[in-house]
Amino acid sequence: MAIAPTPVLRYETRDRKAYITLNRPEVMNALNVEICEAIAEAVHEFGNDRNLLVAIITGEGGRAFSAGMDLKETAQRDRGDLQAPAGRVRGARAAFEEMANCRKPIIAAIDGYCLAAGLELTINCDIRIATLQSRFGLPEARRSLIPGPGVQLSRHIPMGEALLILLTGSHVSAERMYQLGYLQRLVPDREALFKEADAIAEEVLQCAPLAVQALKRIVKVGHSLPVPVMEQMAEPIRSAIERTEDRREGPRAFVEKRAPVWKMR
């Protein structure tokens, strides 16, 4: 089922990939109720479409991936001008949860400011690429706000570095985030950004989809577990993959010197 069209987000599919583009460039792709709900719907659609195996999420305009929550909307809510005061919170939570729970790989292609809830979107992605001009930050404390997924940043970079970002609200360069391991690729410009994102997506597509999804689940769930517990958790997942047709197809294709044909069963 196709997602409902909306001007604040573009959802395109081609070559087994989904392209999700935040489309509010006039406000640096700030996240309001409408765009949060659209993100949640797009990620849900991607996750349930058997023809799609990897997604790339980005922001329109080149100034920002996303500068964070729409604080004008927040102020309207605080004044009681919005009909659904909790709508913003539900919308953001839905977007974050859909991304966090998606079993398929999501690549963040970041160009420009990636701040607050915008950075939190990328925390819930699996692979992150950014242009040199990009800037990162969690400035919520400067507005007496507490980040949601942003507090998980210490799972991705050293705790002291995460606290420096959280407690000062200051911006960090893309180069520094790359040095800290938050970014997996750093590219010179927007053109190179999309080229690199597509190249990584194409490499993902060479792999067995069920194996990729199993690996993502094992790593995401087991990341904070002790090794023996992680191994115990992973064993039934490995066993399920072992019983698939694709598990036999991989070695057979290697022996026959041909590309594997994945059936996802």
More confident residue, 165 or 90: 165
> What is the overall mean pLDDT for the chain?
92
Predicted pLDDT of residue 86: 47
Predicted pLDDT of residue 188: 98
For residue 179, CA distances in Å to 68, 161, 173, 209, 236 come to: 23, 11, 10, 30, 35
Q: Which CATH class is domain 9-206?
A: alpha beta
Predicted pLDDT of residue 36: 93
Structure tokens at 29: 């792709």
Predicted pLDDT of residue 186: 98
* pTM metric for this prediction: 0.92
Question: What percent of the chain is modeled with pLDDT above 90?
Answer: 81
Averaged pLDDT for residues 174-201: 98
List of residues 6+ apart from 204 with CB closer than 8 A: 53, 54, 105, 212
The ranges assigned to domains in the chain are 9-206, 209-255
Told to judge if 120 belongs to the known catalytic residues of this protein, a careful annotator would answer yes
Averaged pLDDT for residues 17-25: 97
Topology (CATH level 3) of domain 209-255: Lyase 2-enoyl-coa Hydratase; Chain  A, domain 2 (1.10.12)
Catalytic residue among 37, 41, 60, 120: 120
Told to judge if 140 belongs to the known catalytic residues of this protein, a careful annotator would answer yes
Averaged pLDDT for residues 42-57: 97
Are 23 and 10 in contact by the 8 Å Cβ rule? The answer is: yes
List of residues 6+ apart from 190 with CB closer than 8 A: 62, 111, 131
Assign 259 a pLDDT band (cuts: 50, 70, 90).
very high
Beta strands in the chain (DSSP E): 9-14, 17-22, 54-59, 64-66, 106-110, 113-115, 127-131, 135-137, 172-173, 185-187
Q: What is the pLDDT of residues 112-122, one digit of tens each?
A: 999 999 999 99
